[in-house]
Amino acid sequence: MTTFPERLKALHSRTPNRVAITLQFSGRDDLPITYAQLLGAASSFAQTLEREGIQPGEVVVLILQHGENLVSSFWGAILHGAIPSIMPFLTEKLSPERYKADLSALISVTKPVAIVTYSEFEEDVRAALQERDSVRAVVVADRIEAQAEIDFASLKGFQRKPEDIVLLQHSSGTTGLQKGVALSHQAVFNQLNSYGKSLGITENDVIVSWLPLYHDMGLIAAFLMPILSGIPLVIMSPFDWVRAPYRLLQAISKYQATLTWLPNFAYNFCAQKIRDRHIEGMDLASLRAVINCSEPVRWESHVAFYERFRDYGLKFEALQTSYAMAENVFGVTQNQLGSIPVVDEIDRESFMVERVAKNPLDGRPSMKMMSSGQPLENVRVKVVGEDRNEVPERIIGELALQSDCMLTGYFNRPDLTEKAFRDGWYLTGDYGYISNGEVFVSGRKKDMIIVGGKNIYPQDLEALTYEVSGVHAGRSVAFGMYDETQGTEDVVVIAEVDSEDTQEQQRIADAIRLHVTKNSAIALRYVKVVGPKWILKTSSGKTARSANKEKFLLELEADREN
Amino acid sequence: MTDNIISEIENYIAAQILKQPTRKIAADESLISSGLINSFSLMDLALFVEDTFGVRIEDTELNANTFDNLTQLASLIESRKA
């Protein structure tokens, strides 16, 4: 039984000069940070929180970009015993009004006492605060000076117990920000032990990542695990990666990385968008595992990635899968390293209609399902039907799990926490089936859209469209549609307006596209504005997203044939 | 020449990125700062420009400071071709 501060202190005393993290920046030299430097900067930050009157156990929200400040303020909050939560950084695209609304959504439930940001955003953050809300301090990270001396005895984080909450993870959007997953020290260590074991992790590993830290895959697999396990981490900004995906491969080659995590779309993105001139002479043979996780995993994406990079030493068996969620800290399953994930070809119609994974029948269309691997040793997975009873192998139902690394609860939301569990099993909201101990994930029960590994609640996007003039509340629908080329979902928005005039409809479509992009940082692929009575409603007057999606797909097909 | 470049890029953006083939984009309409083109699509646009016009656009240039509308992008292409 241990805590984050105790583990960090042990690493610090054993290997003070070992590089814990190497930060990469576009147009700047790589910046290595040793454990001694990390602890030094973090403890200065902890002292700042102390001076600001922040108590251990209180929540501190971090609004910081990739860089030293994010790293030291996260660990500083930990050393002080405060509970850090990393919020997506304000991008240039996002409107200040929306950011204010997002921040209010977060504050209303999570009740943070401090917000940490940069001097240039201090004003925006202060403007977003309201009188009598929970925030007592806005801490400007770039004004804190690191001190060389670390006074461990004065750091309050060492009084925290393993069962105390250590951090919160939020997903994005108004809905996601009101639902913080609270994790204890012990839960995180239990996850790291079992997940690390499934990967056969050693101090010879090197992890490279471009993933954002406000997402579980980035935060746990490519930040906490390496730092708390003494494994070198090389990390770059997601903004830099998306403009230059080859940087990931350069970093892998340069640091001879052994492990990296990618959402499915990134396999397609890298395979399609990297130019030969950028990866000449690269060596990817050091990779033990490239782990596909956080959106539905596709065999075709693995093949495309392998074909593109096989000449650079990439091994096919390095392409791996995992199924993970913040509520279980991270990993639920992991494919056995060194072996190729099982691909199960099944009959499409039985899958869609009977909800069962059957062997393909002669001459009928089939589909390839790729396994996400087997449950970690501390996790049990079962599939349940509508009545919550376990169903046999190969029957599709909701995945439920039990483990010793579950969330403590949704922060300040006992109602949601209670609803999430049934008879001691956590109901994931994901559909799938089990076959020979392999877990296949086939979709989501709820209407959640997953784009590029990011979870998006359609109701948040719909609410934004109502703010556009010409669109009435309750008369738009948002959903995701799988795009084979991109390897992820395209976001579709359909809005019903009074006008039948096509020019006016086009004007409204443009306005929706711009408004939603500016206010959610989500780009809409299809925006369809339609006349009255297009959108299908259920008998209770609710928008039926799946029925509207089917209608949209049929029209799209008809358009293509014309 | 510039008009040809503009209309070729306009068609590409309308059909491939916005999925609205009949949509018109004004030459001075902002593309990046307005959010019309997101970061993933920006990459596609850069690859299209490189392949179609035989010029190079570096990743550090993929932002609204380098070009934010069709006119600016066309003149960037013209200057590289010269």
Judge residue A521's burial from the number of C-beta atoms within 10 Å of its C-beta, 0-12 exposed, 13-18 middle, 19 or more buried: buried
How high is the pLDDT of residue A538?
74
Nearest chain B residue to A506, by CA:
B23
Of A64, A22, A84, residue with least CA distance to A234? A22
- Name chain B contacts of A523, Cβ cutoff 8 Å: 35, 37-38, 40-41
- Name chain B contacts of A509, Cβ cutoff 8 Å: 20
Residues of chain A with CATH 2.30.38.10: 342-444
Average pLDDT over residues A345-372: 92
Selecting from A92, A269, A523 the residue whose C-beta is nearest the C-beta of B38 gives A523
Selecting from A92, A486, A514 the residue whose C-beta is nearest the C-beta of B36 gives A514
Q: Cβ separation of A242 and B44 shorter than 8 Å?
A: no
Q: Which residues contact B61 (CB under 8 A, 6 or more apart)?
A: none
Determine the Cα–Cα distance for residues A303 and A280; give it in Å rounded to an integer: 21
Model confidence pLDDT, tens digit, residues A410-422: 999 999 999 999 9
CATH number of A342-444: 2.30.38.10
How high is the pLDDT of residue A91?
62
Tokens representing residue A225 in the block: 């695990």
Please give the tally of structural domains in chain B. Answer: 1
Å from B19 to nearest chain A CA? 6
In chain A, the largest separation of any two C-alpha atoms, in whole Å, equals: 75
| Domain coverage including residue B48 | 2-81
Percent of chain A, pLDDT > 70? 98
Of A398, A392, A400, residue with least CA distance to A436? A392
N- to C-terminal Cα separation, chain B:
13
Nearest chain A residue to B17, by CA:
A525
How high is the pLDDT of residue A98?
77
Tokens representing residue A401 in the block: 């799990």
Model confidence pLDDT, tens digit, residues A214-233: 999 999 999 999 999 999 99
Q: Which residues contact A227 (CB under 8 A, 6 or more apart)?
A: A8, A20, A21, A38, A233
- Give which of B29, B38, B50 to mutate to test A binding, by max A Cβ within 10 Å: B38
Q: Given phi > 0 = left and psi -120 to 50 = alpha, else beta, which region is A313?
A: left
Determine the Cα–Cα distance for residues A125 and A60; give it in Å rounded to an integer: 14
How high is the pLDDT of residue A124?
84
Residue A354, pLDDT above cutoff 70:
yes
Selecting from B35, B36, B43 the residue whose C-beta is nearest the C-beta of A243 gives B43
Task: Give me the residue label for tokens 């690394």.
Answer: A405
Determine the Cα–Cα distance for residues A85 and B29; give it in Å rounded to an integer: 38
Determine the Cα–Cα distance for residues A550 and B10; give it in Å rounded to an integer: 30
As its CATH architecture, domain A4-237 has 3-Layer(aba) Sandwich (3.40)
- Cβ atoms A399, A441 nearer than 8 A: yes
Which pTM value belongs to this model? 0.91
Of A201, A191, A261, A251, residue with least CA distance to A226? A201
Q: Cβ separation of A513 and B36 shorter than 8 Å?
A: yes
What CATH number matches the domain at A457-561, 3.30.300.30, 3.40.50.1970, 3.40.630.10, 3.40.50.620?
3.30.300.30
- Cβ atoms A246, A210 nearer than 8 A: no
Q: Cβ separation of A513 and B18 shorter than 8 Å?
A: yes
Beta strands in A124-226 (DSSP E): 137-140, 165-170, 180-184, 207-209
Please provide residue B21's backbone torsions phi and psi, each rounded to the nearest 5 degrees.
-55, -25
Determine the Cα–Cα distance for residues A158 and A78; give it in Å rounded to an integer: 9
Residues of chain A with CATH 3.40.50.12780: 4-237
Average pLDDT over residues A315-338: 97
How high is the pLDDT of residue A190?
98
Q: Cβ separation of A506 and B23 shorter than 8 Å?
A: yes
Selecting from A242, A486, A513 the residue whose C-beta is nearest the C-beta of B39 gives A242
Å from A91 to nearest chain B CA? 11
How high is the pLDDT of residue A94?
61
| CATH code, domain with B76 | 1.10.1200.10
Tokens representing residue B25 in the block: 């984009």
Task: Establish if A263 touches chain B: CB-CB under 8 angstroms.
Answer: no
- Name chain A contacts of B23, Cβ cutoff 8 Å: 506
- Give which of B16, B18, B36 to mutate to test A binding, by max A Cβ within 10 Å: B18
Selecting from A242, A273, A452 the residue whose C-beta is nearest the C-beta of B47 gives A273
Judge residue A134's burial from the number of C-beta atoms within 10 Å of its C-beta, 0-12 exposed, 13-18 middle, 19 or more buried: middle
- Cβ atoms A152, A164 nearer than 8 A: no
Nearest chain A residue to B20, by CA:
A526
How high is the pLDDT of residue A92?
56
How high is the pLDDT of residue A450?
87
Model confidence pLDDT, tens digit, residues A71-109: 999 999 999 999 999 987 766 556 777 778 888 888 999
- Name chain B contacts of A92, Cβ cutoff 8 Å: 33, 64
Determine the Cα–Cα distance for residues A379 and A194; give it in Å rounded to an integer: 9
Judge residue A349's burial from the number of C-beta atoms within 10 Å of its C-beta, 0-12 exposed, 13-18 middle, 19 or more buried: middle
String of DSSP letters for B64-81: TTT-SSHHHHHHHHHHHH
How high is the pLDDT of residue A264?
95
Residue A519, pLDDT above cutoff 90:
no
- Name chain B contacts of A452, Cβ cutoff 8 Å: 40
Of A381, A491, A519, A493, residue with least CA distance to A437? A381
Question: Per-residue confidence of chain B (82 residues) as pLDDT tens digits?
Answer: 788 999 999 999 999 998 888 888 999 998 988 778 887 888 899 999 999 999 999 888 888 888 999 999 999 999 998 7
The ipTM assigned to this model is: 0.83
Average pLDDT over residues A435-455: 88
Using 50, 70 and 90 to split pLDDT, how confident is the model at A561?
confident
Average pLDDT over residues A225-250: 96
Residue A284, pLDDT above cutoff 80:
yes
Strands A259-262 and A289-292: what pairing? parallel
Sign of CA dihedral A35, A38, A40, A43: negative
DSSP state of A103: H
Nearest chain A residue to B33, by CA:
A93
Please provide residue A427's backbone torsions phi and psi, each rounded to the nearest 5 degrees.
-90, 120
Q: Cβ separation of A513 and B60 shorter than 8 Å?
A: no
Residue A37, pLDDT above cutoff 70:
yes
Model confidence pLDDT, tens digit, residues A458-486: 988 998 999 999 998 889 999 999 998 88
**A266 CB neighbour count, 10 Å cutoff:** 27
Of A361, A291, A344, A289, residue with least CA distance to A321? A291
Model confidence pLDDT, tens digit, residues A373-398: 999 999 999 999 999 999 999 999 99
Q: Cβ separation of A518 and B35 shorter than 8 Å?
A: yes
Q: Cβ separation of B39 and A525 shorter than 8 Å?
A: no
Task: Establish if A204 touches chain B: CB-CB under 8 angstroms.
Answer: no
Residues of chain A with CATH 3.30.300.30: 457-561
How high is the pLDDT of residue A399?
97
Residue A148, pLDDT above cutoff 90:
no
Residues 421-460 of A with CB under 8 A from B: 452
What rounded mean pLDDT belongs to chain A?
93
Q: Cβ separation of B60 and A273 shorter than 8 Å?
A: no
